[in-house]
């Protein structure tokens, strides 16, 4: 992002509901505010439940120089940002002792959607669609992508690819870790059209795959909420 200089992250603890907090430094207040408008409410993985949109606010203290130079000048507080990952719909102030300044939870317009970036630094200007920045999807639901769950951890990517390549209309796939269940993987499979994607669901559903420990799991298939970008596939 324009003006970004560095970031410091304090990792949370899921067991105690302590959120992960990041402090980002920018070169000017206007650039920090522009980043706030851009990032607030962003959801990295819409397939993960519950959804965890970013909550972003101006930090109350300056971030120490993250590049290791103790001689760098300290900046005004409005040049810093803090961001927290919180469950969608959490009450204001979830996970921290003091309610953020106006950002107890993301604005309702951001729930289940992508944030919009505004020009002018202070929040004015025409919105720019941020959907292209998502990790694996293009923000559209063309009903051409399926989501395969319950893939056992350690299952060979070649085996998964061979399985999905056998279906008609296959275009590409992306195999990712499951943030909510480390014992399983998730695979998004892109097809030529909606008809091919829907036909693949019953064909693949229930197929048994073997994981690293030798256990066998039956996969489950469903229509993905977003279309997989072809340039992100590995198939």
Residue 224: count of CB within 10 angstroms of its CB: 24
Burial (Cβ within 10 Å: 0-12, 13-18, ≥19) of residue 11? exposed
The tens digit of pLDDT for each residue in 97-138 reads: 333 333 333 333 333 333 333 333 333 333 333 333 334 444
Whole-number pLDDT of residue 130: 36
Instruction: In the chain, list all ranges with CATH 3.30.70.330.
Output: 145-232
The pTM of the full predicted model, rounded to 2 decimals, is 0.43
Domain 145-232 architecture: 2-Layer Sandwich (3.30)
Look at residue 76 and tell me whether its pLDDT is greater than 80: no
Distance CA 82, CA 98 (A): 13
Distance CA 220, CA 187 (A): 11
The tens digit of pLDDT for each residue in 25-58 reads: 888 777 777 777 777 777 666 666 666 677 777 7
């Amino acid at each position: 992002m324009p003006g970004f200089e560095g970031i410091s992250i304090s990792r949370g603890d899921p067991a105690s509901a302590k959120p992960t907090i990041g402090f980002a430094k920018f070169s000017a207040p206007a650039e920090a505010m522009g980043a706030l408008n851009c990032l607030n409410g962003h959801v990295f993985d819409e397939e993960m439940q519950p959804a965890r949109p970013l909550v972003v606010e101006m930090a109350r203290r300056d971030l120490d120089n993250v590049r290791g130079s103790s001689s760098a000048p300290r900046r005004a507080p409005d040049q810093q940002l803090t961001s927290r990952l919180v469950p969608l719909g959490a009450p204001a102030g979830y996970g921290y002792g003091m309610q953020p300044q106006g950002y107890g939870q993301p604005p309702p317009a951001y729930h289940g959607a992508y944030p919009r970036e505004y020009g002018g630094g202070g929040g004015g200007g025409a919105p720019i669609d941020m959907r292209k920045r998502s990790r694996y999807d293009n923000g559209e639901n063309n009903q051409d992508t399926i989501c395969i769950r319950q893939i056992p951890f350690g299952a060979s990517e070649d085996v998964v690819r061979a399985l999905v390549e056998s279906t008609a209309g296959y275009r590409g796939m992306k195999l990712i870790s499951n943030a909510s269940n480390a014992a399983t993987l998730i695979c998004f499979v892109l097809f030529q059209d909606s008809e091919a994607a829907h036909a693949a669901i019953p064909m693949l559903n229930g197929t048994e795959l073997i994981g690293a420990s030798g256990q066998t799991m039956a996969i489950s298939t469903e229509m993905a909420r977003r279309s997989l970008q072809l340039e992100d596939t590995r198939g």
